[in-house]
Amino acid sequence: MTNTSPRPWFLSLTAKWAEAEGFASLSSGIRGILTNHGLPTHHLPVAESSWHSTIYALLTIEGTQPDGTAPSALAPQLFQELRAAIPFLRRAAAVLPLAIQPHTLQAFDDGTTIQFEDHSGLAELRAALRPLIEPSVMRAIGAHQATKHLLDNTSKSNGSRIFGSIARSPSRSDGPHLRWRVTLPSLPPLQFRTMHFLVSDDTLTNTHDSSNSLRLTPP
């Protein structure tokens, strides 16, 4: 049965694949594999323009506030509060340019993903970012209900793993059971010269402007 509760909203540092050198080759490689394998029948494709990887996840908003404020309305407010953490943003930008190597295409019950090779620089970056932003995140979630920090997330805020979804299950009750896995052909890395501190729904399909997104470039 499909879970009809509101989809969560997020604040994160995010790299958009379409902005990276090497994206055309990755897109072509994905299409070639899906011609033979296809997506799981219940998965909904994510638009190519929304393909992304989370560099660092800060928090999620999972419900409406007591005063009726929806997650989509609260998220830009928290973004404006957290963008004041200038040392955090400067440290994040210092990792640019960033190159990540596509490795496998994996289909799980809850989504189809591109997995990239582990990147030791990400582990170092994520460890350095936490003390710069944790006090601000904790103040934000302490002041608002139905919010949760993601600083302990082992795949998006800690360690060297990086991935991104190209399709999602519409049911939030589906889990990460692996259906199939295909090693990608030899492809150039995705090379990012920008990343974004932003507000997003879970598929990055919301509109972005200066009220909810900040573009980071190398110092």
Of 130, 176, 175, 123, give the one whose Cα is nearest residue 152: 130
What does the pLDDT look like over 71-123, one tens digit per residue? 999 999 999 999 999 999 999 999 999 999 999 999 999 999 999 999 999 99
Complete domains list, the chain, with CATH: 9-216 (3.90.1140)
CA distance 82 to 64: 20
Asked if the model's pLDDT at residue 1 lies above 80, the reply is no
Give the pLDDT confidence score for residue 37 in this predicted structure.
86
Give the pLDDT confidence score for residue 203 in this predicted structure.
86
Considering the entire predicted model, what is its pTM? 0.93
Number of Cβ within 10 Å of residue 8's Cβ equals 19
The H-or-E segment that residue 208 falls in is: none
What does the pLDDT look like over 163-180, one tens digit per residue? 999 999 988 777 888 999
Averaged over 20-32, what is the pLDDT? 96
Give the pLDDT confidence score for residue 4 in this predicted structure.
52
Averaged over 33-50, what is the pLDDT? 92
How many CA atoms lie less than 13 Å away from 64 in the CB half-sphere? 7
The H-or-E segment that residue 13 falls in is: strand 9-16
